[in-house]
Amino acid sequence: MRAERAIADRAADATVVVASQEAAISERLCDHLLFLQTGRLFWCAPFESWRSRYRRIRVRDRVEATHELGELALITRRQGATMEVLLDDPAGSAEGRLRRAGARVDPMPLPLDELLLVVSA
């Protein structure tokens, strides 16, 4: 925790680059996330850009409408009468499409470490 405070103090006056496999620490300390995949830059953006592009939702009623999402749905997992969906939706259109089809859509938490595992697969 002391190291985190020192990094945060330095970052107030300068750009600090943190290389970490600890997603929770990165999320607390950093305002941008740079993701390398197989030695190449995959994406560099503020955390909020990641959060708006990648989302997890729970779909109830009309869960079959999730099949219409195509490539926007990275992962779908049926849980009884609901469907959990991990979205890669830069335009933010998936939830609206599902609601127009009569589905109820609820946002769900998506921890950064889980997101990075999915994106890197």
In three-state form (DSSP H/G/I as H, E/B as E, the rest C), the secondary structure along 34-69 is EEEECCEEEEEEEHHHHHHHEEEEEEECCHHHHHHH
Instruction: Indicate the domain borders of the chain.
Output: 2-49, 52-120
pLDDT per residue as tens digits for the range 70-120:
999 999 999 889 999 999 999 999 999 999 999 999 999 988 888 888 877
Report, as an integer, the average pLDDT of 59-76: 92
CATH of 52-120, one of 3.30.450, 3.30.70, 2.60.40, 1.10.260: 3.30.70
Contact 95, 56 (CB under 8 A): no
> Could you tell me which of 119, 110, 113, 115 has the C-alpha nearest to residue 22?
113
Q: For the chain, first and last CA: distance in Å?
A: 31
Report CA Rg, the chain.
Answer: 17
**38 C-beta neighbours (distance < 10 Å), count:** 6
**3-class SS of residue 28:** helix
Q: What pTM was estimated for this model as a whole?
A: 0.76
